[in-house]
Structure 1
Amino acid sequence: MLARCAAETGAWLVHYSTDYVFDGSGETARDEEAATGPLSVYGQTKLEGEALIRASGCRHLILRTSWVYAARGGNFAKTMLRLAAERERLTVIDDQIGAPTGADLLADLTAQMVRTAVAQPDLDLSGTYHAVAGGQTSWHGYASFVVEQARRLGRDLKVQTIDPVPTTAFPAPAKRPLNSRLDTTKLQATFGLYLPPWQQGVERMLTEILG
Structure 2
Amino acid sequence: MLARCAAETGAWLVHYSTDYVFDGSGETARDEQAATGPLSVYGQTKLEGEELIRASGCRHLILRTSWVYAARGGNFARTMLRLAAERERLTVIDDQIGAPTGADLLADLTAQMVRTAMSTAAGSDLDLSGVYHAVASGETSWHGYASFVIERARQKGRELKVQTIDPVPTSAFPTPAQRPHNSRLSTHKLQQVFGLRLPPWQQGVERMLTEIL
| Structure 1 residue 3: Cα displacement | 0.1
| Structure 1 residue 134: Cα displacement | 0.4
Which residue of structure 1 aligns with residue 108 of structure 2?
A: 108
SS at match of 2:166: strand
SS at match of 2:92: strand
CA distance in 2, matches of 1:140, 1:173: 21
Q: Does 1:184 align with 2:184?
A: no
Where does structure 1 lack aligned partners over 5 or more consecutive residues?
Answer: none
Which residue of structure 2 aligns with residue 7 of structure 1?
A: 7
CA distance in 1, matches of 2:198, 2:155: 25
Which residue of structure 1 aligns with residue 135 of structure 2?
A: 132
Deviations 1:65-123 (A, max 9, x none): 00000000100000000000000000000000000000000000000000001111122
Which residue of structure 2 aligns with residue 66 of structure 1?
A: 66
Number of aligned residue pairs? 210
Which residue of structure 2 aligns with residue 162 of structure 1?
A: 165
| Structure 1 residue 144: Cα displacement | 0.0
Deviations 1:106-159 (A, max 9, x none): 000000000001111122200000000000000000000000000011000000
Deviations 1:16-49 (A, max 9, x none): 0000000000000000000000000000000000
AA partner of residue 22 (structure 2) = F
SS at match of 2:20: helix
Where does structure 2 lack aligned partners over 5 or more consecutive residues?
Answer: none
TM-score (norm: length of structure 1): 0.99
CA distance in 2, matches of 1:193, 1:151: 33
Q: Once superposed, what is the RMSD of the aligned Cα atoms?
A: 0.3
CA distance in 2, matches of 1:45, 1:152: 42
Which residue of structure 1 aligns with residue 207 of structure 2?
A: 204
Which residue of structure 2 aligns with residue 152 of structure 1?
A: 155
